[in-house]
Amino acid sequence: MPRVFLNRSVQIRPKSWRDIVQGIFSQVLSVTLASLLFSTTGFANWESQLLWNNDAHMAPKPIPIKLGPDERETISIFERATKSVVFITNTAIRRDFWSLNTFEVPQGSGSGIIWDREGHIVTNFHVVYGADSIQIVLSDQTSLQAQVIGVDPDHDLAVLRIRTSKDHLFPIEVGNSQGLQVGQKVLAIGNPFGLDHTLTTGVVSALGRTIKSMNDRTIEGVIQTDAAINPGNSGGPLLDSDGRLIGINTQIISPSGAYAGIGFAVPVNTIIRVIPQLIQFGKLIRPGMGISLIPDSIAARWGIQGLIIAKVEPGSPAEKAGLESARETRLGRINLGDIITKINQEPVNIFDDLIRILDRHKVGDRITVEVHRNGKSRKVKVTLKSID
């Protein structure tokens, strides 16, 4: 007999609170397990992808750096020359006003170059001026005490000496500043602002410049460069494109005191002439004629062009050449003697002109001096002698 399903209403019994709580708990547990399973799977996939990415990026293939011939040459010069460049710090001893105890005060810093294997260091005079203690740091970071051997304030040069093994000394290669040309490449090495060896490059901007030293004397034949020179570069080398010394960085022109594109270096030919004398005598032996001059300001007030001889030293080359000095009459008037107007055909109007010309000569050289006396001009030969 076939079965028949009847449509009838069914009575539903309400759930208890216990059933409701158990249902909610079961649903929460199911969702949590599903989330954990998804998270674990996702994290595993993410982690595996991260590791794969790290494997791809942690050990990249080295990319060779392509350097041009000029870059390789500059790097080679820097590596070679830095062994000859030192860092200089100077301190002065001061006394406390209240306790009267003495203490060292840093005065400044600069750079220097190793001149020879005897331990001589060449730098600027203004780098060591007023120093009671001078410390030298070599390229291998060896720190040594230095003593001043000789100074030439007129050319802003000084020679120091350190005591160390010759194995630590690498003298700079000396070049020639005679044939320099505007536009040729130069390199400056130093310790600007106390930083370790720093290289800057540029060109020779001008030649034959004149600048004033600390004692207001004229330095002739100075090299102008646009290679960046900052405080701390003073005393460091200016090199040519072969890495040879062509000058020592000495001054900058800057309204702010920092690099402004105009730097100056004392030419190496001047350094070659001065340094041996500073090493041997502790000072520059200047050639002279054995005369003293009336100040430029008085000569200008009198309307006289040239150098008025105030005194001729007895037995001097000037006396032997027959030069005469000014003299005072019994009435207190000044009778002028010889007025120097030219030396070796070059006009001289002020004392700096005389110094500039004599600076090119050495003791024993003969010069032609043109003088004006009593309305007449004449020329005499004078052999230069050593003066203090």
Q: State the Cα–Cα distance between residues 86 and 2, nearest whole angstrom.
A: 117
Phi, psi of 126 (to 5 degrees): -70, -15
DSSP-based three-state secondary structure for 299 = helix
Q: Which of 196, 203, 187 is nearest to 81 (CA)?
A: 187
- CA 262/CA 230 separation, integer angstroms: 10
Amino acid type, 371:
V
Is residue 69 packed enough to be buried (19+ CB in 10 Å), middle (13-18) or exposed (0-12)? exposed
Compute the C-alpha angle 221/222/224, nearest 5°: 135
Whole-number Å distance between alpha carbons of 382 and 323: 10
Given the residues 213, 234, 316, 325, the one annotated as active site: 234
Which residues contact residue 46 at a Cβ distance below 8 angstroms, ignoring those fewer than 6 apart? none
Query: Can you tell me whether residue 354 is helix, strand or coil?
Result: helix
The residue annotated as part of the active site, out of 156, 226, 240, 338, is: 156
CA distances 179 to 175, 187, 211, 246, 327, Å, are 10, 17, 20, 10, 47
Q: Which of 84, 109, 111, 126 is catalytic?
A: 126
Place of tokens 């996939």: 45
> Where is 95: in which H helix or E strand?
strand 85-95
Helix (H) or strand (E) holding 199: strand 198-212
156 a catalytic residue? yes
Write down the residue that tokens 């000058």 correspond to.
Answer: 247
CA distance 386 to 363: 6
Which amino acids are annotated catalytic? 126, 156, 234
